[in-house]
Amino acid sequence: MEEPACSSICLSYGFLRHGSDDGRVFDISPDHAIGLWAGLIALPIALIVMRLMPARRAVPGTVRAAAILMAMAGAIHLGLVSTHLEEPITAALFIGNGVAYLVLAAM
């Protein structure tokens, strides 16, 4: 009896072999690590600020969660400014995005 031909799934197994970086979920460029740290530091700050807001109970939880995530995104963008100073347009865009996210989070 003849064996069935290999399917396209079978052919893709070559790309799924384990590489030399097994055990890591992701890798981040060292100059972008500051953005990751800024976002992680912004999380507890945003949670504290949200808790101190008097009108926090007037908005749904999804809106509060979105505000916290936007604050984190703003902090990440502002954190990346220092690593892109040699690219003034990119740095200016990071500043603009970061400020815009923080303003939207505060609304």
20 has pLDDT over 90: no
Q: Is the pLDDT of residue 96 over 90?
A: yes
Question: Quick one: residue 23, left, alpha or beta (phi over 0 = left, psi -120 to 50 = alpha)?
Answer: left
Q: Over range 80-105, report the average pLDDT.
A: 90
Token representation of residue 34: 């500051």
Confidence of residue 47 (pLDDT cuts 50, 70, 90): confident
Q: At what angle do helices 61-79 and 33-52 cross, to 10 degrees?
A: 140
The whole-chain average pLDDT of the chain stands at 80
User: Residue 74: pLDDT band by 50, 70, 90 thresholds?
Assistant: very high
Give 101's pLDDT tier (boundaries 50, 70, 90): very high
Q: What is the mean pLDDT of residues 21-38?
A: 74
Whole-prediction pTM? 0.69
Query: Quick one: pLDDT at residue 19?
Result: 59
